[in-house]
Amino acid sequence: MVYLDHAATTEVRPEVVADIAAELGSLGNPSSLHGHGRAARRTVEESRERIARALGSTPHEVVFTGGGTESDNIAVKGLYWARNAEDPARRRILTSAVEHHAALDPAHWMAEHQGAVHEALPVDALGGLDPETLREAVERDPGSVALVSVMWANNEVGTVQPVEELAAVAARYGIPFHTDAVQAVGAEPVDFAAAGVTALTVSGHKLGGPVGAGALLIARGTAPTPVLHGGGQERDIRSGTLSTPLLRGLATAVDRAVAEREEHAKHLECLRDELEEGVRAVVPDVVVNGDRERRLPGISHLSFPGCEGDALLMLLDARGISCSTGSACSAGVAQPSHVLLAMGADPDTALSSLRLSLGRTSTREDVRALVEAIGPAVERARAARAKRRR
C-alpha cells in the first residue's frame, strides 16, 4: 500500500502514541483544584509552553481547540462578532478565494445569518494573493472591515502566501488578521510573532499528532467572542474539558515537526521533484498547478488533460495507491475545485486533477510505484471518458 495523501492526514508519530498512552492512564480533570486535577493541569500547561516555544508565541497566546475547523470558526466568527459589537459598521470579512472550507464556510454563514459582507479576493494563476489586492480592498472602506483571513499555504496546490506582507497591510489599518497555518507548520518556518498576525490555526493530525487536538494562537489583547459557552476554559474563548492526553500528544507532534522541519522539507522536495519528473516522462502533457517557486515541499497538484480525477483516483486505488482529487473535506463531491477555478482553470481542467501529497514516511519506492501506475491509469481514464462522449 502506498499512501500519498498526507495533506489530508498523517501517520501518528510513535512518540506521540507513547505520550498519549501514558497519559490515558492518569486521572484528573485539569480544571479541578485537587491533586489529581493539578497534575493534569501541569501537563496541559507544559504542553502549552512547548507549542508556544515551537511557534514563536507566548504560552498565554495558545488556546487549545479540537482541531483546525474549530480554530478557524473561532477566528472568523469570534473576531467578527467582537469587532462588530464595538462598531456595527465593521461588517466586511475579507478572505482569499482559495481558502479551505473551514474558513470560507464560516464567512459564508456569517454573511447569510449575521449580516456580514463576505468578500473573496481574487488570486493570480498560481494561487497567490497580491498584497496590493488586499490593500485596495481594504482602502475602499477601511472602517468597515471586521477581519482578514488568508491561509499560510494552500491545502490543494501548496502555494505559500506572502503572509507577513498581507498581515502588514491589515495592521496598517488596525484590522485583525487570521491565518490558517494547518498545512504550513512543520513544512514552512512559522513564527507567530515575526509574522505579525493576530490569530493562527494549527491542527495536530496534519503533522503526526492526534485527530481531535489543535490550537488557535491569539495575540495578546485580542478577545474573540466565544463560539462555545460553558465552563470558561481557555480564557473563556473555548469552553470545554481539556483532553490532557491529546494535548500532550499535540505538543510532542508540534515540537518534533518544527525541530525536524529543514531536513524534512529537503527530503520532501527531492521526492516531489522525482515524482513530477517521473510522471512527466510517462504523461508528457501533465500540468503542474500552483506556484513552482513558493509552494509546500510535499504537495504536487497535477492536471491530466482528457481524464477525470475521480476515475484516476479509483484506478490508482485499485493498485494500492491512495491520493486525492483535492481537499479531503470535499471527497466524493463531483464538483470542480474552487481553488483551481479561482486560479483561472476551466471546469474540465479542474476535474482532471489529482493531489499527490508526501509525508514523513514517504519513500522513493512510493514514488516509483506511482510513476509505474500513472501511465496505464491515464490511458484507461482517457479511453473511458472518450467512449462515454461518443
Which of the residues 270, 307, 323, 329 is marked catalytic?
A: 329
Could you tell me which of 338, 197, 319, 181 has the C-alpha nearest to residue 254?
A: 181
Could you tell me which of 291, 292, 308, 297 has the C-alpha nearest to residue 356?
A: 297
Looking at the fold, whether 38 and 131 belong to one and the same domain comes out as yes
| Domain end marker among 244, 259, 274 | 259
Residue 73 is predicted with a pLDDT of: 98
CA distances 373 to 128, 141, 314, 319, 370, Å, are 32, 53, 12, 7, 5
Looking at the fold, whether 32 and 71 belong to one and the same domain comes out as yes
CA dihedral 343, 307, 368, 315 (to 10 degrees): 130
Looking at the fold, whether 351 and 364 belong to one and the same domain comes out as yes
Looking at the fold, whether 117 and 34 belong to one and the same domain comes out as yes
Looking at the fold, whether 225 and 372 belong to one and the same domain comes out as no
Looking at the fold, whether 23 and 89 belong to one and the same domain comes out as yes
Any idea which residue has 531536513 for its cell? Answer: 263
C-alpha 4/C-alpha 20 separation (Å) is: 26
Q: Specify whether 323 is catalytic.
A: no
| Domain end marker among 207, 236, 259 | 259
What is the total count of domains within the chain?
2
Please, what is the end-to-end C-alpha distance for the chain in angstroms?
Answer: 35
Edge-to-edge strand order for the sheet containing 353-357?
287-289, 299-303, 353-357
Question: Is the CA virtual torsion 100, 103, 107, 109 positive or negative?
Answer: positive
**Would you list the DSSP string of 21-43?**
HHHHT----TT--SHHHHHHHHH
Could you tell me which of 316, 296, 267, 352 has the C-alpha nearest to residue 7?
A: 296
Looking at the fold, whether 385 and 298 belong to one and the same domain comes out as yes
Residue 227 is predicted with a pLDDT of: 97
C-alpha 31/C-alpha 326 separation (Å) is: 40
Say how many C-beta atoms besides its own lie within 10 A of residue 329's C-beta.
13
What average pLDDT score do residues 82-104 get? 98
Looking at the fold, whether 165 and 288 belong to one and the same domain comes out as no
Say which CATH number the domain at 344 has. Answer: 3.90.1150.10
Segment holding 248, helix H or strand E:
helix 244-259
Looking at the fold, whether 137 and 99 belong to one and the same domain comes out as yes
pLDDT at 328 over 50: no
213-245: pLDDT as tens digits: 999 999 999 999 999 999 999 999 999 999 999
Looking at the fold, whether 271 and 238 belong to one and the same domain comes out as no
Max alpha carbon distance in the chain (Å)? 74
Beta 62-65 vs 214-218: how paired, if at all?
antiparallel
Looking at the fold, whether 255 and 325 belong to one and the same domain comes out as no
Domain that holds residue 201: 14-259
Looking at the fold, whether 207 and 304 belong to one and the same domain comes out as no
Say which CATH number the domain at 148 has. Answer: 3.40.640.10
| Domain end marker among 259, 278, 305 | 259
264-323: pLDDT as tens digits: 999 999 999 999 999 999 999 999 999 999 999 999 999 999 999 999 999 999 999 999
**Average pLDDT, rounded, for the chain:** 96
Residue 327 is predicted with a pLDDT of: 45
204-220: pLDDT as tens digits: 999 999 999 999 999 99
180-208: pLDDT as tens digits: 999 999 999 999 999 999 999 999 999 99
Using 50, 70 and 90 to split pLDDT, how confident is the model at 329?
A: very low
The pTM for the full model equals 0.95
